[in-house]
């Protein structure tokens, strides 16, 4: 079984669609660089989205749907996850699924192009990078959101039909916030938000997804928590809903996303029930 790393790898995913070669320009003093090229390929979805639940009779017609899973969630089969990439040659999970009660939700960005003609291919590329190149056994995030607001299921959590969770309502341990992965739901926005702001549809889906998860786990988006690591036993204070940089030294989730998190918290809290 893999152990969680204490420091993030210095790796970046660079999209180069239509390219036949690439060149790297690096700073003086850099002695070792490893590059890996892979093709995310084409894919025709066979199971595009999670089933949409009918509204309950008590719900207001104008109230946003905060049920979980969110309506229209693109499941792993829908974005083309090759499940063999997370298995060993013997057919076992290379990073066996582990579950913990939810303590926090953390927002990330992927630092990839926002002007993306094929977000599903980008999700497949991130999956390849995380599962194979980074040797994490699977994609590190629980959910990803593209510029049009489509939400993608991330890390594999079993076959019970509830993305990211087991039947005890615990969340699968991801690889997205080093040292704080257990019980921490990672949501990644597809794009580089040091350069641009999250588009409106992406932001709306982020708020809706956070509200649905917060409601499911009784986690106040405006609250603060004492995060307790079930593996090390160490505790740290932090936000119930935060950005990657709240937990470790990083630019993620981008300065523009981070600047909007206070408003995202407020909007999610209004839907939290």
Q: What residue spans define the domains of the chain?
A: 76-271
Angle in degrees, CA 139, 91, 122, rounded to 5: 25
For residues 137 and 95, is the Cβ–Cβ distance under 8 A?
A: yes
- Note the pLDDT tens digit of each residue in 127-160: 999 999 999 999 999 999 999 999 999 999 999 8
- pLDDT of the residue at 196: 95
Domain 76-271 is found in CATH 3.40.80.10:
yes
Cα–Cα distance measured from residue 214 to residue 216, given in angstroms and rounded to the nearest whole number = 5
Is the torsion defined by CA of 243, 262, 163, 123 positive or negative?
negative
- Note the pLDDT tens digit of each residue in 89-118: 999 999 999 999 999 999 999 999 999 999
- Note the pLDDT tens digit of each residue in 234-266: 999 999 999 999 999 999 999 999 999 999 999
Q: What residues are paired with 104 via a beta bridge?
A: 184
**Half-sphere exposure (Cβ direction) of 4: Cα atoms closer than 13 Å:** 18
């Amino acid at each position: 079984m893999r152990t969680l790393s204490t420091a993030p790898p210095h790796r970046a995913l660079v999209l180069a669609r239509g390219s036949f070669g690439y060149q790297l320009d690096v700073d003086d003093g850099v002695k070792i660089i490893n590059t890996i090229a892979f093709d995310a390929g084409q894919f025709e979805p066979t199971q595009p989205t999670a089933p949409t639940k009918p509204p309950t009779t008590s719900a207001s017609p104008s109230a946003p749907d905060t049920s979980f899973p969110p309506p229209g969630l693109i499941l792993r089969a829908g974005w083309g996850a090759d499940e063999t990439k997370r298995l060993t040659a013997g057919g076992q999970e290379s990073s066996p699924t582990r579950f913990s009660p939810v303590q926090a939700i953390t927002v990330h960005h992927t630092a990839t192009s926002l002007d993306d003609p094929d977000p599903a291919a980008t999700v497949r590329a991130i999956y390849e990078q995380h599962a194979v190149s980074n040797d994490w056994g699977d994609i590190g995030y629980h959910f990803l959101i593209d510029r049009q607001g489509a939400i993608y299921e991330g890390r594999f959590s079993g076959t019970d039909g509830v993305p990211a969770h087991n039947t005890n309502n615990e969340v699968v341990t991801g690889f997205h916030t080093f040292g704080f992965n257990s019980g921490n739901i990672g949501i990644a926005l597809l794009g580089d938000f040091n350069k641009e702001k999250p588009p409106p549809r992406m932001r709306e889906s982020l708020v809706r997804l956070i509200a649905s998860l917060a409601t499911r786990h009784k986690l106040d988006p405006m609250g603060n928590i004492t995060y307790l690591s079930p593996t090390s036993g160490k505790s740290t204070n932090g936000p119930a809903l935060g950005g990657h940089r709240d937990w470790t030294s990083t630019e993620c989730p981008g300065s523009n996303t981070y600047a909007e998190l206070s408003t995202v918290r407020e909007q999610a809290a209004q839907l939290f029930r």
